[in-house]
Chains A and B, each alone.
Chain A
Amino acid sequence: MRLIARYAKELENIFEVVTVWDEAVEKEQVPKNDPRIKTLTKTHPTAIWFERKMHDDFGILIEDAFDNRPLVHQERFPKSIHPMQKSFQKKSLAFDDYKAYKYEAIGGDGVFEVSVGPIHAGIIEPGHFHFSQAGEEMLHQEVRHFYKYRAIEKMLEGKTLIDAKPVIERISGNESIAYQIAWRDVVLQATKSQLPDVNHKYHALLLELERTIHHLTDLGFIPNDAGFSVALAFASKLSEEARRELKRVTGHRFGFAAIDFEAHTLDTEAMTVYLDTLQEAITFFESWIIDIPSLWDRFDTTGILKTEKALKYDTVGIVARASGLRLDRRDEPFYHEHGFVMQTQKSADVAARFKIRLEEVKNTLLMMRNFRVEACEAVKLGEVEDGEYFSFVESSIGELFMSIEINKGVIERFFVRDPSFVNWQALHLMMPGNIIADFPLINKSCDLSYAGNDL
């Protein structure tokens, strides 16, 4: 079974630990006065961040874990505070004394450590990477994040689904439409409402447009990190045009507030003109870039994530598909009817992750043509019913999982697992055998979100 998420919530007298698998949901109850659980890391290594986070959030002890370091709470965070407990209601915290974080590092003669971040050299989100080096060669890397931790989960408690929307769509700017669709699916379940087919298509069109923007950006930045900046000039022009198209359709360059239950019209002719332009440009781009040997020399065999490791680490999205796993939330009748074809690669390297994006842009173009609708309708929603609702969306990075529990009409527990949260944990597997100068290239080939990961 594939581990999707593991998180806790507080009920009246107990904590409940929810483990979401692809085929089942398990719930385990632990007493509040002595909360302990057993680790899942022996079979599912990516459980470790979920479990370390659970300890930070609720104070639940992971009995047999090999790693008990704090995850979200950094050097200056007060030690005994577990802010996801309902009794914690403070709106501000003072900095505590500095407690050093013990990084994973490899010792040995001549082995040295390199610390990178949280502030990086480019225009990029903050996060920390800690390398153990034998000369140029990377022996090990620890990914350390949560610098952007905003406590979104706590922030949304006590809000209605409608009031939570402006925050949810701003959790990760690159995946805003995906987050909004996950929210939409929760609203539909909670109000027992149906979405008309045209709305379904209209929203799918926006999601594919968002994917196109994100993929085009990466198709420029990945070659740029291999020193081929002319590809960035070309692809960043295309991503700017795609963003302007999103602005034309939704009124916002990132599609904030685009997914709702109102009626909208779409200028399908203008959309067709745009799609034709992009089609021509991407065809040229492919025939050109595929023919640059010095670029593929950098891409091929760099940052390999073997299929069995991709599976073991429960990876999702681009990273999983580039390693040969057939994993995509769009693998369902609605998308198949509109031209979806699962894209996978075998080489599992930077080249594979680049090619997947290229293939997906082409496939997405076909789907967007099929999703064009003149208008979508206003939907009348019923009353929100209390309960626990799950939704899954394939964002431009991978599978997004959202869980919202509603009690007395307001959010009792909000949890979301960005695809990046699992994929970040597999990043270090791609490093050994590569030189540190290739790290930015490998990292960019995955292009994971920090904001969605950190919450």
Chain B
Amino acid sequence: MIRFWNRRIKTGLLTENPEIDRELKVIQKEIKSLVSKKFAGSLAIRMVDSGSCNACEAECNALSNPYYDLERLGIYFVASPRHADVMLLSGLMTFNMVPHVLDAFKQMPAPKWVITLGACPAMEAPFEQTFAIKAPAEAHLSIAHHIPGCPPTPKEIIEGLLVFLRKM
């Protein structure tokens, strides 16, 4: 284990925001103060996949890797809708998932918001309407913000969350 820590210390901090670094520095304070003002210091997100290809989930997982480290901004992915302020919703709202998505939303304490993630929930992906698809999500829930992309990159997701916070 000591070898790992030696390497870890030599590597130093990796966390970066390649192209939005400067912009982020400027608004980092703003996010932190927005999160602190509007969400008591931490914005809790419940990610729900309603029938995606799993790329959106992979990019959300990437938000926790050392390059992005989303939690330092006070934004957390939580395990239960009952802990969440925001539902981050990906996927095509499949026939089989819609009842569960609505259940999860019902479990969230108010005030609560839904942010749609990626092309699918807005029915903008190449998938065509079938009997098994009930997208767009806005037919079922009121959507506070949409983060486009197929899938949106981690950077685009961070930017999208910033826009949402400013809108609030």
**Are both chains from one complex?**
yes
**Stretch of A142-150, A323-331, A363-371, A424-432 at the chain-chain interface:** A142-150
26 A-B contacts, Cβ less than 8 Å apart?
A76-B95, A91-B129, A122-B77, A123-B61, A123-B77, A125-B52, A146-B96, A150-B130, A150-B133, A151-B131, A166-B126, A167-B128, A170-B53, A170-B127, A173-B56, A174-B55, A233-B65, A233-B66, A243-B62, A253-B153, A254-B151, A284-B3, A288-B4, A451-B52, A451-B53, A454-B51
Given the complex of chains A and B, what is the CA–CA distance between A359 and B77 in angstroms? 32
A8 CB-CB contact with B under 8 Å: no
B95 touches A173 (CB 8 A): no
C-alpha spacing A150/B133, complex, angstroms = 6
Q: Top 10 nearest A-B pairs by Cβ distance?
A: A173-B55, A166-B126, A121-B79, A236-B65, A151-B132, A173-B53, A151-B130, A148-B51, A173-B54, A93-B131
A174 touches B54 (CB 8 A): yes
**Which residue of the partner chain, among A95, A240, A284, contacts B67 with CB atoms under 8 Å?**
A240
Residues of B within 8 A of A288 (CB): 1, 3-4
Flag the segment in B19-27, B28-36, B97-105 that touches A.
B97-105
Do the beta carbons of A147 and B57 come within 8 Å of each other? no
Q: What separation, in Å, do the CA atoms of A95 and B60 have in the docked complex?
A: 31
CB-contacts of A436-455 with B (<8 A) = 449-451, 454
Complex contacts, A167 vs chain B, CB 8 Å = 126-128
Contact A150/B51 with A123-B77, A126-B97, A236-B62 known, Cβ cut-off 8 Å = yes
Listed residue (B50, B95, B132) with the most chain A CB atoms within 10 angstroms of its CB: B132
**A131 to B97 alpha-carbon distance, docked (Å):** 21
Contacts of B61 in A (CB 8 A): 123, 217, 236
The reply on B85 being an interface residue by CB < 8 A is no
Q: Other than the known A174-B54, A253-B153, A451-B54, what 7 A-B pairs have Cβ atoms closer than 8 Å?
A: A88-B131, A118-B100, A122-B77, A147-B94, A150-B127, A150-B132, A217-B61
Question: CA A31 – CA B123 in complex, angstroms?
Answer: 38
> Is A150 a contact partner of B94 (Cβ separation < 8 A)?
yes
Identify which of A124, A239, A243, A454 contacts B57 (C-beta below 8 A): A124
Say yes or no: A170 contacts B133, CB within 8 Å: no
Q: Is A154 an interface residue (CB 8 A)?
A: yes
Interface residue ranges, B against A (CB under 8 Å): 1, 3-4, 7, 14, 47-62, 64-67, 77, 79-81, 91-92, 94-97, 99-100, 104, 125-134, 150-151, 153
Is A256 a contact partner of B150 (Cβ separation < 8 A)? Answer: yes
- Are A123's CB and B47's CB within 8 A? yes
B62 touches A170 (CB 8 A): no
Query: Which of the residues A123, A287, A451 comes within 8 Å of B60, measured between beta carbons?
Result: A123
Task: Report the Cα distance A239→B63, complex, angstroms.
Answer: 12
Most buried by B among A93, A170, A256, A288: A170
Q: Is A346 an interface residue (CB 8 A)?
A: no
Q: List residues of chain B with CB within 8 A of the CB of A243.
A: 62
Closest chain A residue, CB of each to CB of B132: A151
Give the residue name and chain of the A residue nearest to B59 (CB): A253
Residues of A participating in the B interface, judged by any CB pair closer than 8 Å: 74, 76-77, 83, 88, 90-93, 95, 118-119, 121-126, 146-151, 154-155, 166-167, 170-174, 176, 217, 230, 233-234, 236-237, 239-240, 243, 253-254, 256, 284, 287-288, 292, 449-451, 454
A292–B1 contact, CB under 8 A?
Answer: yes
Contact A284 B79 (CB under 8 A): no
Complex Cα spacing A235 to B112, Å: 34
Chain A residues, CB < 8 A from B58: 173-174, 217, 254
**A76 contacts which chain B residues (CB < 8 A)?**
95, 99
- Residues of A within 8 Å of B129, CB to CB, are 91-92
A residues near B57, Cβ cutoff 8 Å:
123-125
Closest to B131 in A: A93
Which listed residue, B48, B65, B95, B153, touches A77 by the CB 8 Å rule? B95
- Which of B56, B65, B126 has the most CB atoms of chain A within a 10 A radius of its CB? B65
**List of B residues within 8 angstroms of A77 by Cβ:** 95-96
A92, A148, A236: the one contacting B91 at CB < 8 Å is: A148
The answer to whether B54 touches A119 (Cβ under 8 A) is no
Are A151 and B133 neighbours in the complex by a CB distance under 8 Å? yes
What's the Cα separation between A234 and B8 when bound, in Å? 9
* B47 closest partner in A (C-beta): A123
CB distance from A241 to the nearest CB of B (A): 9
Give CA–CA (A243, B104) in the complex, Å. 32
Task: Please measure, in the bound complex, the distance between the C-alpha atom of A93 and the C-alpha atom of B54, giving whole angstroms.
Answer: 25
Instruction: Kindly list chain A residues whose C-beta atoms are within 8 Å of the C-beta of B79.
Output: 121-122
Shortest Cβ distance from A159 into B: residue: B128
Output the nearest chain B residue to A93 by Cβ-Cβ distance: B131
A256: chain B residues at CB < 8 Å are 150
What is the distance, in angstroms, from A412's C-beta to the closest C-beta of chain B?
Answer: 17
CB-CB under 8 A for A126 and B100, given A91-B129, A240-B65: yes
Residues in A with CB closer than 8 Å to B54 are 125, 172-174, 449-451
**Hey, which chain B residues are within 8 Å of A148, CB to CB?**
49, 51-52, 91, 94, 96-97
